Amino acid sequence: MIIRQIREDDAEAFLALCRQLDRETAFMLLEPDERNTTVEQQRERILSVLATDNQMIFVAEHEGRLVGYLAGFGGNYRRNHDNIHIVIGILQAFTGQSIGRRLFETVEAWARERRLHRLELTVMAHNARGKALYTKMGFEVEGVKRESLYVDGAWVDEICMAKLLK
């Protein structure tokens, strides 16, 4: 398993990964039919991320196939530049193999190199595996966004978690 920064030529494979994650799990934000990004748009987004000092996407590659990712997006203004919002997704067939841990270790090292201050994320309240991973990686609960997402016909709470890099 290789953990690396995304490249421009990953656009098609990354888009396919995101679409598969949309189908496999209800823990991602988009529903299966909701992602309408083209490969060219994805390529442009990747180039934009790579050109920004406080954004990065790390991918997990297994035998030439992208099987997971962790994206970190920093703020656009001086006051929130050093706050990195995280999104992570790993294909079901590859969960439980420490990929999540390795992705978090990679993004944290990247953030520390850049002297960024805060990693933050939200997790659906019923995502026990996600909450366990984030807690293991040093994230702490900061609050709850009550009934913030409508998933499978029901309102779901999101838990806000963060880790300060000191």
Task: Convert the pLDDT of each residue in 133-157 to its tens digit.
Answer: 999 999 999 999 999 999 999 999 9
Residue 40 burial (10 A CB sphere; 0-12, 13-18, 19+): exposed
Alpha carbons 130 and 123: distance in angstroms, whole number: 7
Q: What is the pTM of this model?
A: 0.94
Question: Which stretches does DSSP call E strand in the chain?
Answer: 2-5, 55-62, 65-74, 83-90, 118-124, 140-151, 154-164
Average per-residue pLDDT in the chain?
96
In percent, how much of the chain has pLDDT > 70? 100
In percent, how much of the chain has pLDDT > 90? 96
How many H helices and E strands in the chain?
A: 4, 7
Residue 16 burial (10 A CB sphere; 0-12, 13-18, 19+): middle
Q: pLDDT tens digit string along 41-84?
A: 999 999 999 999 999 999 999 999 999 999 999 999 999 999 99
* Whole-number Cα distances in Å, 44 to 34, 37, 40, 159, 160: 19, 11, 6, 31, 29
Asked whether the predicted pLDDT for residue 11 surpasses 90, the reply is yes
Domains of the chain (ranges; CATH) run 2-164 (3.40.630.30)
pLDDT at 166: 81
Query: Per-residue pLDDT averaged across 17-46, rounded?
Result: 94
pLDDT at 40: 96
